[in-house]
Amino acid sequence: MWAAISKNTLALSKLIIRLDRIRIPLWLIGIVFFTIMVPIAFDDMYSSQKERDVMAETMENPAMTAMVGPGNLENYTIGAMTSHQMLLLTAVIVGLMSILLVTRHTRATEEDGRIEMIRSLPVGRLANVNATLLVLVVINILLALISGLGLYALGIESMDLEGSLLYGATLGATGIVFTGITAIFAQLSESSRGATGFSIAILLIAYLVRAIGDVSNETLSWFSPLGWVSQTEAYSTNNWWPVGLMIGVSIILFILANYLNAIRDLGAGFFPSKPGKKHASIFLKSPIGLALRLQRTGMIAWAIGLFILGISYGSVFGDLESFFEGNDVLEQLLAEKEGYSLTEQFIPMLMIVLSLLATVPPLMAMLKLKGEEGKNRLEHLFARAVSRNKMMGSYLIIAIINGFMMLSLTAIGLFAAANAVMDESFNFGMIYGAAMVYYPAMLVMIGLAVFLIGVLPKVTSFIWAYLTYSFLVLYLGGLFDFPEWVGKLSPFGYIPQLPVEEMQWLPLVILTVIAFVLMIVGMVGYNKRDIDG
């Protein structure tokens, strides 16, 4: 029985590897490179224990705990520092990799009708899902081994073999857990967008649950697989059991995914899909209405997600405030800048993260234009009397408004939560301003997306690499003391860090001008190039 329903699993695994022979190595190299570079940089910058202890002091506050999780701050070696500051973040990236790869080879290829062809061959009913699981498990084991051995090979004193292997194993195990979670959503949801969306939502929720748990209530962190990541305490106590726990949970998830796949029809899901409307509303009958309708659900989900993220970050301020009150040493260390409280000094750091995340949905809204072209659906519209300017303009307007709303929502969420938990609350204008200064940088990113779609359509996904770059250099830049120009390669690097820095209008105006130039050039290019379908 099992032999029959899993027949040709290995052959399909080979096919998946063949299809992704570039994508998989890119993910692996990227993550391993990132993992290994960080301790090298740490070793260089914080070479004495004294410097590291200072670092430990600055890390010892609820805002940082919410962001990176708990760590061994008493004995802050290079190893402890690496696993404290990097392990959770890297685990999230590994989770994301697993989510994207699993959906791609399960629901997405089923949705595109390729599984129908495969299933007409002597291939077992469960072969495809298990081939995907198999490939992902192998990728994650490879990732665990390469990064573990790579870290050990650095020869840094505090980074012993066991800790290094555990560090790698934690990353791999997180990847395997999210492989399982995505495999289940690939069965439940009828569309690949749904499967990816739900899985990423779980990833974010797992991150937030452990953020709240780590700050206020440890038991809560137990409910999040990302909470287990910090529990391994690689390079300190070296707990292996969370890895075991993750593997155990993964096995259950894999079995459940198999079961769900076995009892459903090809093409069907379990989430109910209700019949749609018989007629298009007047709104839907314009390109902008159609563009909006196509991404409505995703946009609402992002709006809710970012609002919750704002709330989560905001809720940390209460703890932060009381923490600073009782800590004289810290107060001296982070000497208060004129007119600003210590808590306010954390705002710019949060704003960078929030604004970069809030840039994702407007970019997705813009790139949807390219996605529709790739699926040959634009030709239906261009074949009717829709000009290219109107088409691109519709998506652009949506992206511009979308970005504005996403940024506003995070600021409002942050303010609302901070206001509720703090004794001395913030001024709303200050928080909102600190968020909105990033809008011009966001516009540049949207402009660049327009430019890429119009002029260099083959490399539109470059925008994601650029956003990731911005994230890494600005978020981590503070930790690593990068030279200034590294941050200035991103539009986000020119934004005044309100409220701590002075407001400067000039860079904002220049960024806005650049954004509009990019948009215009992109539009002109779009009018001139071939449409692929």
Provide the binding-site residues for other proteins, judged by CB under 8 A: 4-5, 7-8, 11, 15, 18-19, 112-114, 116-125, 265-266, 268
Residue 7 binding: pick among other proteins, ligand ATP, none (C-beta 5-8 Å cut-off by kind): other proteins
Choose, by CB under 6 A, the member of 267, 374, 465, 504 that binds ligand ATP.
267
Q: Residues in contact with ligand ATP, total (CB under 6 A)? A: 2
In angstroms, give the least distance from the CB of 124 to other proteins.
6
Residue 281 binding: pick among other proteins, ligand ATP, none (C-beta 5-8 Å cut-off by kind): none
Residue 529 binding: pick among ligand ATP, other proteins, none (C-beta 5-8 Å cut-off by kind): none
Among 72, 425, 69, CA closest to 215: 69
In angstroms, give the least distance from the CB of 269 to other proteins.
12
Give the nearer residue to ligand ATP in terms of CB position, either 190 or 321: 190
Apex 302 CA angle, 266 and 267, nearest 5? 5
Tokens 């609820």 identify what position?
62
- Interhelix angle for 127-153 vs 241-263, to 10°? 160
| SS3 letters across 200-260 | HHHHHHHHHHHHHHHHHCHHHHCCCHHHHHHHCCCCCCCCCHHHHHHHHHHHHHHHHHHHH
Give the nearer residue to other proteins in terms of CB position, either 116 or 331: 116
Give the nearer residue to other proteins in terms of CB position, either 112 or 336: 112
Give the nearer residue to other proteins in terms of CB position, either 120 or 219: 120
113 binds ligand ATP (CB under 6 A): no
- Distance separating alpha carbons of residues 179 and 58, to the nearest angstrom: 35
In angstroms, give the least distance from the CB of 366 to other proteins.
22
The token pair that represents 370 in the structure block: 């390219």
CB 474 within 8 A of CB 487: yes
- Kindly write down the DSSP assignment for every residue of 438-468, as one continuous string: THHHHHHHHHHHHHHHHH-GGGTTHHHHHHH
In angstroms, give the least distance from the CB of 42 to other proteins.
40
- Distance separating alpha carbons of residues 445 and 514, to the nearest angstrom: 10
Residue 155 binding: pick among other proteins, ligand ATP, none (C-beta 5-8 Å cut-off by kind): none
Give the nearer residue to other proteins in terms of CB position, either 2 or 505: 2
What are the counts of helices (DSSP H) followed by strands (DSSP E) for the chain? 25, 0
In angstroms, give the least distance from the CB of 17 to other proteins.
13
Residue 119 binding: pick among ligand ATP, other proteins, none (C-beta 5-8 Å cut-off by kind): other proteins
533 binds ligand ATP (CB under 6 A): no
Give the nearer residue to other proteins in terms of CB position, either 84 or 107: 107
Residue 113 binding: pick among other proteins, ligand ATP, none (C-beta 5-8 Å cut-off by kind): other proteins
Residue 255 binding: pick among ligand ATP, other proteins, none (C-beta 5-8 Å cut-off by kind): none
* List of residues 6+ apart from 216 with CB closer than 8 A: 319
Residue 248 binding: pick among other proteins, ligand ATP, none (C-beta 5-8 Å cut-off by kind): none
Site string for ligand ATP, 268-307 (x = CB under 6 A): x---------------------------------------
Say how many C-beta atoms besides its own lie within 10 A of residue 80's C-beta: 23
Cα dist from 153 to 63, 145, 241, whole Å: 33, 12, 24
- Distance separating alpha carbons of residues 229 and 158, to the nearest angstrom: 20
Residues in the chain: 533
In angstroms, give the least distance from the CB of 275 to ligand ATP.
10
Residue 368 binding: pick among other proteins, ligand ATP, none (C-beta 5-8 Å cut-off by kind): none
* List of residues 6+ apart from 270 with CB closer than 8 A: 187, 188, 260, 264
Residue nearest to ligand ATP (CB): 267
In angstroms, give the least distance from the CB of 269 to ligand ATP.
10
- Distance separating alpha carbons of residues 402 and 354, to the nearest angstrom: 15
In angstroms, give the least distance from the CB of 383 to ligand ATP.
22
- Distance separating alpha carbons of residues 158 and 160, to the nearest angstrom: 6
In angstroms, give the least distance from the CB of 527 to other proteins.
24
Residue 120 binding: pick among ligand ATP, other proteins, none (C-beta 5-8 Å cut-off by kind): other proteins
CB 533 within 8 A of CB 373: yes
In angstroms, give the least distance from the CB of 52 to ligand ATP.
60
Residue 461, burial from CB neighbour count under 10 angstroms (0-12, 13-18, 19+) = exposed
Residues that bind ligand ATP (CB under 6 A): 267-268
